[in-house]
Amino acid sequence: MDVDLQLFKNIMNEARHNPDLLDSYSPNQFKSKEVLINHINNLNILDDKSEIIILGSWYGSILIPAFKQVKRITAVDSDENIINIAKNRLFNHYTNVDFICDDVFSTFRNQYEKATLFINTSCEHMKPMKEWGSAPTYKNPWWDRVSPAYFAFQSNNMRDIEGHINCVDSSGEFEKQLPDNAKVLYRGHIEDSRGHRFTLIGKLWVE
């Protein structure tokens, strides 16, 4: 069994005074991330040359260790404090992870053009993914610039949680928020203690 003892120590040290970090390891978080991870692995999307972008990464608590075998992970989140904690206190011994503090809609990054997989498990916190990109109105749409690549997105119907500005009530409603060149390979939903979580995994095709 491959146990990352250094990460475990880092989590314990930080969690003593950071209940928000503990929430990122809650049973609900594990349940939803496990679905995503298992279906990505079942689709054989990744290998040791793959590069992953995590949009709205939070701490990257579960996803970063799950995919640590890939060439590069780039975690993007708008909360500077969270990014600093993840970079300097949790995953400071990981050499293949970049942390970026930014609004994922504001800046196109060079890392995006090489990405194998885009993960966003925080779609309820932001505009629909089909609108990903900055103003003015997408003269060079970002999804076209990064295709072909895979995506793995999650959203939910939990409207009573602070910061949830774009919830959905079904996988079908969620699919309407995908970029135009997205082909869904897996769709599903699970229940947790607060509502329903929806998962879509697929590929962005070159038109």
Round to whole Å and give the CA distance between 178 and 27. Answer: 28
Residue type, 156: N
Domain that residue 181 falls in: 5-204
- One digit per residue, pLDDT tens: the chain, 207 residues? 477 999 999 999 999 999 999 999 999 999 999 999 999 999 999 999 999 999 999 999 999 999 999 999 999 999 999 999 999 999 999 999 999 999 999 999 999 999 999 999 999 999 999 999 865 555 678 998 999 999 999 999 999 999 999 999 999 999 999 999 999 999 999 998 899 999 999 999 876
Do residues 96 and 46 lie in contact, with contact meaning Cβ atoms separated by under 8 Å? no
What's 67's domain CATH number? Answer: 3.40.50.150
Determine if the pTM surpasses 0.85.
Answer: yes
Please tell me the total count of domains within the chain: 1
- Contacts from 165-168 at CB under 8 Å and sequence distance 24+? 165/124, 165/125, 165/126, 166/123, 166/124, 166/125, 166/126, 166/127, 166/128, 167/124, 168/124, 168/198
